[in-house]
Amino acid sequence: MVVIEVKVIPDSDKNELAKEDSKVKIRVKASAEKGKANQAVIKLLSKYYNISKSSIKIIKGKRKKNKLIKIDLKDTK
Which tens digits make up the pLDDT trace of 7-38? Answer: 999 999 999 999 888 889 999 999 999 999 99
For the chain, list the domains and their CATH numbers.
Answer: 2-71 (3.30.1200.10)
Residue-wise burial string across 34-65, b where 16 or more C-beta atoms lie within 10 A, e elsewhere: eeebbebbbebbbeebebeeebbebeebeeee
Position 62, amino acid: K
Share of the chain above pLDDT 90, in %: 86
Residue 72 has pLDDT above 60, yes or no: yes
Instruction: Decide if 32 contacts 40 (C-beta within 8 A).
Output: no
Residue 43 has pLDDT above 90, yes or no: yes
- What band does 47 get if pLDDT is binned at 50, 70 and 90? very high
Q: Quote the radius of gyration of the chain (alpha carbons, Å).
A: 11
